[in-house]
Chains A and B, each alone.
Chain A
Amino acid sequence: MRLAEAWRVAWDALRANRMRSALTMLGVVIGVASVVLLVAIGTGTKQRVEQQVEGLGSNLLLVVPGRLDVGSAPAVSPLTLQDVDAVGRVVGDPSRVAVTVASGATVRAGNREDFTTVQGVLETTPTVFARELGRGRYLTGSDVDTGRRVAVLGDSVARSLFPDREAVGQQINVAGVRFRVIGVFVPLGQSLGVDRDDEVHIPVTAAQRLYGTQRVDAIAVKAPDRERIDELGERIVAELNGRHPGTEFSAVTQEQILGVLGDILGILTGVLAAIAGISLLVGGVGVSNIMLVSVRERTREIGLRKAVGARPRDIGVQFLLEAVLLTSVGGLTGMALGVGGALLVAALSPIPAAVTWWSLALAFGVSAAVGIVFGVVPAQRAGRLDPVVALRAE
């Protein structure tokens, strides 16, 4: 039998049992759609995170206690402002060094309040992290040196506390201490469902007094050039190791952060795809099941076809094509649904989704392969049927 003819026969057979074919396909449709959608979300998330890490500013080194690695727990920081000065000396330019000591706190203004992240920082933050002020001014060196109670608000905090007034010049109350608002950041928007404008910057000295601590959580350095960034990191780590024997420090670059985040998100995407793959497998078992039913139902047809000259192979190919047709039509439908779902998720929710051609190719290839794998047994069974027995079947 010619292959085109076999395709037509397979198509007719599926059309003859429309409801059953549709329900069998549904398993594959759901499997493929979820593979496409979940891989799109994983890929989109990865792209978004990479953009954001790159958006932090160029030539950035983050100095943290402990190791930056998948699965390592954050360590309590032994770093102090003296260490920051030491790092500044290593770098040779204190204006390239930023710090943060961050804590969640309730911020009040009048009868309004907002729970937000209050970060103690140096005046160098806008330079190191490329942050822009929307209005007012940022912290100065003297604000930091004197621990002045002044604050720069993220856009969301400003809107929340002062919905109908200009925030700059107003008083806010952070954990029972009054601060004066001196500036508001340009909005950054959301990332991964997190509002990046939900923060308040105050002088690190004021923050340490507020939280009753001497520590700083992390130090960030904007390296003068890209080529010597690793060497600079090593010198900083050596300096800090000398100052804090027994504690390990890491200086990591954006590339390293991207690598670690990429690993995490890659694993996440893989796990999602594997879960979706299981549903595709279940769909395949459904195909196998329905093909066995179909072979049994059409035993007489198989007998007749053999009587008039169909070879075992002709019959096998016919049933195999039927299974492949089921899964590939299901696969195409699932791809369309997955792509549609990904576009919908990207448009209507903060979750990013990026459909990649390889996930489509993979999903379609896998669904066609599922048809072959799960169609082979029923097809062989059909092909090997004894025509005499088959013709007698009820």
Chain B
Amino acid sequence: MSRAPAIEAVDVSRTYQLDGVSVPALRGVSLTVGAGDYVALIGPSGSGKSTLMHLLGGLDRPTAGRLVIGGREVGTLSPPELARLRNETIGFVFQAFHLLPRTSAVDNVALPLVYRGVGARQRRERAAAMLGRVGLGHRLHHRPNQLSGGEQQRVAIARALVTDPTVLLADEPTGNLDSTTGAAVLELLERLNTESGVALVMVTHDAEVAARARRRIAMRDGVVVADSAALPGEASVLGEARPADGGGGR
């Protein structure tokens, strides 16, 4: 596969200001997520993988470096432009599902289309079709509290994919689920990755889960310490690890 990269990060840093003290969370990360990639992002707490997820998803902007999502340079975008970029190219799946309570499954899935200005009828049609693809065609009008954890996460996955994004960012998607349900959700994500070609980037603590990915990126102390894409024979070969001491606070 030689399509244009979905996300390209070059020497990206993110420093937080906490009570006047600069706290570097990412220190010069470079990596590329190719179209259709399946990447596991691993590392201990505080390694910067959540910060990296937020940057890759366009929820945050880097303090230094170049970050290009869907062909657009994130650093130059205003908040409304960034919102539009998220809406069009990124799908999020969270550990805690983040479904709107008191809102039916179909309306939860349709939510991103609201901000795209799609009419109510078409929204529901597309949301219902998407729920069918995740195996919840019979649960359209159930509310989150009427659904099991696995079903809720499927609704969240449908919501992430209803806009036809190029990248699906999943932050510990099986973290709140038992192992059987978690495995089913993981299989669903993998199937969607294969079927629709959406790149899947997944943050996980679980070594078994990480082992299933075609590519693993390990982080520690705000830098990438290992990237299996650097090995030959993988789908994407553009990612590269930087030394652990390199490029802090740029």
Q: A387 at the A/B interface (Cβ < 8 Å)?
A: yes
> Of B83, B87, B98, B100, which is within 8 A of A391 by CB?
B98
Q: In whole Å, how far is A318's beta carbon from the nearest beta carbon of chain B?
A: 10
Q: Give Cα A256–Cα B159 distance, bound, in whole angstroms.
A: 74
Cβ-closest chain A residue relative to B119: A2
Given contacts A1-B117, A300-B98, A388-B60, contact A306 B54 (CB under 8 A): no
Asked if B84 and A311 sit within 8 Å, CB to CB, the answer is: yes
Query: Across the A-B interface, how many residue pairs have beta carbons closer than 8 Å?
Result: 65
Cβ-closest chain A residue relative to B159: A308
Asked if A307 and B57 sit within 8 Å, CB to CB, the answer is: yes
Q: A336 at the A/B interface (Cβ < 8 Å)?
A: no
State the majority secondary structure of interface residues on A. Answer: helix
Q: Give Cα A63–Cα B55 distance, bound, in whole angstroms.
A: 87
Interface stretch of the complex, out of B107-115, B144-152, B181-189, B234-242: B107-115
Interface residues on A, range: 20 to 34
Cβ-closest chain A residue relative to B57: A307
Residues of A within 8 A of B4 (CB): none
Asked if B59 and A388 sit within 8 Å, CB to CB, the answer is: yes
> Of A16, A309, A386, which is within 8 A of B116 by CB?
A309
Residues of B within 8 A of A304 (CB): 98, 100, 111
Residues of B within 8 A of A23 (CB): none
Q: Give Cα A16–Cα B59 distance, bound, in whole angstroms.
A: 28
Q: Identify the A interface with B (CB < 8 A).
A: 1-2, 5, 12, 16, 300-301, 303-314, 386-388, 391
Instruction: Show 12 residue pairs from A and B whose CB-CB distance is below 8 angstroms, ordered by the A residue.
Output: A5-B120, A305-B111, A307-B86, A308-B86, A308-B87, A308-B92, A309-B86, A309-B115, A311-B80, A312-B80, A312-B83, A314-B83
Additional A-B contact list (14), CB under 8 Å, known A309-B83, A311-B79, A311-B80:
A12-B103, A303-B98, A304-B111, A307-B57, A308-B87, A308-B92, A309-B84, A309-B163, A312-B80, A312-B83, A314-B115, A387-B59, A388-B54, A391-B98
Q: Identify the B interface with A (CB < 8 A).
A: 54, 57, 59-60, 79-80, 83-84, 86-88, 92, 94, 98, 100, 102-103, 111-112, 114-117, 120, 159, 163
